[in-house]
């Protein structure tokens, strides 16, 4: 089921693509290059890559996000594709992905698809949630669910460490050039409630509409000591950023 809400994403979660601009710098897109943007969302970073003169294909698993991206950037090319099932074969000079790969449960299939999509000598520049990502936030949610006597749903997210992700890329024929795992405490303009509404659809579904507000208040109470700083909510994001090359 497509639970993505492009309006809420663009209104309250623009920080996702704003932080991703640094990764576009690492990608160094050049005029005339063909570049694949995996998990492009509403397309802001796809457009920045295109602005460098590259020919970009933005893909996303969410029909709603692809529709929004097409609306935002009608001149660019977007496709609704599941990154663990992509079939591109030696078509791109570079593959880029920001804040998307941690959503893909079959990470091996996504790595294999990205490697296959690259031309020989092609580059990969990706950033995703890394080992330890949103640990405090998830803990606050799990404790609130336990208080409501609800079993925590299986996590939809995959947060690998450097060794795990780099080895996986190597197994698919990529040479890892740089890897970093770092904290990025991220202010949430819409607070924890909007973050959960945006990304925790499955959790809210099990909580139910009538208990939603009480549940969010409980998550806030649980999270406050760790995630409330100087009058704003922070997400305890940790990023894994990797660049690699196909031999």
The residues that touch ligand BEZ, with contacts defined as CB under 6 A, are 99, 102, 129, 133-134, 157, 199, 237
CB of 30 to ligand BEZ, least distance (A): 28
Nearest residue to ligand BEZ by CB is 129
Q: Between residues 185 and 208, which has the closer beta carbon with respect to ligand BEZ? A: 185
CB burial of 136-161 (b: ≥16 within 10 Å; e: otherwise) equals: bbbebbbebbeeeebeeeeeeebbbe
Q: Please count the CA atoms within 13 angstroms of the CA of 32 that sit on its side-chain side.
A: 0
Nearer Cβ to ligand BEZ (128/174): 128
Cβ closer to ligand BEZ: 96 or 237? 237
The answer to whether 150 and 211 have CB atoms below 8 angstroms apart is: no
Q: What are phi and psi of 63, to 5 degrees?
A: -60, -35
Helix (H) or strand (E) holding 179: strand 174-187
Least separation in angstroms between CB 25 and ligand BEZ: 19
Cβ closest to ligand BEZ, residue 58 vs residue 129: 129
Shortest distance (Å) from residue 134 CB to ligand BEZ: 5
Query: Minimum distance between the CB of residue 99 and ligand BEZ, rounded to whole angstroms?
Result: 4
Q: Between β-strands 232-246 and 228-229, what pairing exists: parallel, antiparallel or unpaired?
A: antiparallel
| Nearest approach, Cβ of residue 147 and ligand BEZ (Å) | 22
**In terms of DSSP H, where are the helices of the chain?**
6-12, 15-27, 44-51, 63-72, 107-117, 135-147, 162-171, 191-199, 201-207, 212-227
Closer residue to ligand BEZ, CB minimum distance, 54 or 59 = 59
């Amino acid at each position: 089921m497509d639970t993505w809400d492009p309006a809420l994403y663009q209104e309250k979660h623009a920080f996702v693509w704003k932080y991703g601009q640094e990764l576009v710098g690492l990608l160094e897109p050049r005029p005339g290059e063909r570049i694949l943007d995996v998990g492009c969302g509403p397309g802001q970073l796809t457009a920045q890559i295109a602005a460098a003169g590259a020919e970009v294909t933005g893909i996303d698993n969410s029909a709603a996000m692809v529709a929004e991206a097409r609306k935002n950037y009608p001149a660019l090319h977007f496709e609704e594709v599941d990154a663990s099932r992509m079939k591109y074969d030696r078509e791109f000079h570079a593959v880029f992905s920001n804040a998307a790969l941690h959503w893909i449960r079959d990470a091996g299939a996504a790595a294999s698809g990205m490697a296959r999509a690259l031309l020989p000598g092609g580059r990969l520049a990706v950033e995703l949630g890394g080992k330890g990502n949103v640990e405090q936030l998830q803990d606050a949610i799990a404790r609130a669910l336990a208080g409501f006597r609800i079993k925590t749903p299986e996590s939809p997210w995959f947060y690998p460490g450097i060794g795990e992700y780099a080895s996986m890329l190597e197994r698919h024929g990529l040479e890892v050039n740089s890897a970093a795992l770092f904290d990025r405490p991220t202010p949430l303009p819409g607070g924890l409630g909007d973050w959960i509404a945006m990304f925790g659809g499955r959790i809210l579904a099990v909580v139910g509409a009538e208990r939603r507000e009480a549940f969010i208040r409980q998550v806030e109470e649980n999270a406050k000591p760790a995630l409330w700083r100087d009058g704003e909510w922070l997400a305890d994001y940790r990023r894994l950023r990797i660049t690699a090359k196909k031999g």
